Amino acid sequence: MWNFQTDPEFQAKLDWMLTFVKNECEILDLRFPGHGAPYDTTHAEARAAIKPLQDQVKAQGLWACHLDAHLGGPGYGQLKLALMNEIIGRSYWAPTVFGTAAPDTGNAEILAMFGTPEQKAKYLQPLMDGDIVSTFSMTEPQAGADPREFTCKAWREGDEWVIEGEKWFSSNSRYAAFLIVLAVTDPEAHISNRMSMFIVPRETPGLETIRNVGLMEESLDDPEEGIHGYLRYNKVRVPLDHMLGGPGEGFKVAQARLGGGRVHHAMRTVGKCQRALDMMVERAVSRRTQGKLLADHQFVQGMIADSAIELEQFRLLVIKTAWVIDNEPHGAARTLIGMCKVQMAKIYHDIIQRAIQLHGSLGVSNELPLGSWWMGLPSLALADGPTEVHKVQVAKALLKQGRPAPGLFPSEHIPSRLAGLR
């Protein structure tokens, strides 16, 4: 059964969230600018400011809602999480205030699913409490996100695992208390069994930062220091009990954290694009040119209409994807998730570009958030895997269902269909 309504009790929570994010989280964006600021647990003033806000979120039962009930969370499911993330996406401080910042959400999920009781107590609990941040250390400088090309390796020596190799763009490692690293443990095995996952405390000897790298939009805030690590694991040693999952299960563990995260990213993009659309509408009814309001120019009307239509189409795609994840067997939403990933960057590009155009020179200045959002477009297109990879995945899934035409002409060939009726 399809139902486009939200139950009143949860709608009340969403209404509270929207007011709260607008009045509190968006103000934090102004008070403590910088996309990396929410991850800096040493920033005493910012941490003091967000603590009472986090307490309000917890009082509403909306803290760290990404875990299912069997993993210790509220069990909202992906559809409700999608509606929540649409609101959270309006502000870069909001994920931290709501306990849903990436990559901590994905790391928390795999710790909850695969972690031992000791790992959960030492790493998951402080992560869920918002006291620390973490890193997912997967991609490599020579391989990007292709696990077939990974060379960072791990082997057992006595009662320890030894990790050696380099990792590129390990997210938020500048501030992380621990890292979850994917390393090759059996280079001859099939891709699904050649890697294992390890927990590495940040202070472990041999874990070296070659340099910190910043995203383009982050570089506007802090050009001297990025937050994503180009790391060298120089024979880093961790105890045997710091493996996450079993030997050779690294690929399985990594896959477990990606699907829901892509839906969350997509709906946060919807939230940011909705904010840009709201800015376009406000500008159109405020600014005059050539003797009339911008709103009276058909070109402007077209820009606003195109943005609203495209955003609604994308929103419905993401919500359907979330519904399928909640209601269909595992893996049923894979193609839809790929569609969301592909369309996310395109929608973001088109709507933010129109919003900038409508604001003129102000739109490209540092006095509106639009310029920073625009700078975030390339990283959005690469997050969770390049867009092109997902296009190929979607096409292959559809082509696998295709069947050749039964004869010389296509199955929709009119003369052939008419001949079959005689």
CA 158 to chain centre: 38
| 190 SS3 class | coil
**DSSP category for residue 45:** H
pLDDT for the residue 222: 56
Cα–Cα distance for residue pair 77/342, rounded to 1 Å: 23
d(CA 250, CA 267): 28
Q: What pLDDT is stored for residue 259 in this prediction? A: 62
Q: pLDDT tens digits for the chain (422 residues)? A: 668 889 999 999 999 999 999 999 999 999 998 878 888 888 999 999 999 999 999 999 999 898 877 767 788 889 999 999 999 999 999 999 999 998 998 899 899 999 999 999 999 999 988 899 999 999 999 998 888 999 999 999 999 999 999 999 999 999 999 999 999 999 999 988 999 999 999 999 999 999 998 877 665 555 557 899 999 999 999 999 999 999 999 998 988 776 667 888 899 999 999 999 999 999 999 999 999 999 999 999 999 999 999 999 999 999 999 999 999 998 899 999 999 999 999 999 999 999 999 999 999 999 999 998 999 888 888 877 788 888 999 999 999 999 999 999 999 999 999 998 87
94 Cβ contact partners less than 8 Å away, ≥ 6 residues apart: 21, 25, 87, 88
Q: Which residues contact 393 (CB under 8 A, 6 or more apart)?
A: 334, 335, 338
- Of 243, 308, 245, 317, which Cα lies nearest the Cα of 277? 308
What angle, 0 to 180 degrees and rounded to 10, lies between the N-to-C axes of helices 334-363 and 298-327?
A: 150
SS3 content of the chain, % helix, strand, coil (to 5): 55, 15, 30
Map out the domains of the chain with their CATH numbers.
Answer: 8-101 (no CATH), 134-250 (2.40.110.10), 258-401 (1.20.140.10)
- Cα separation, 40 vs 260, whole angstroms: 25
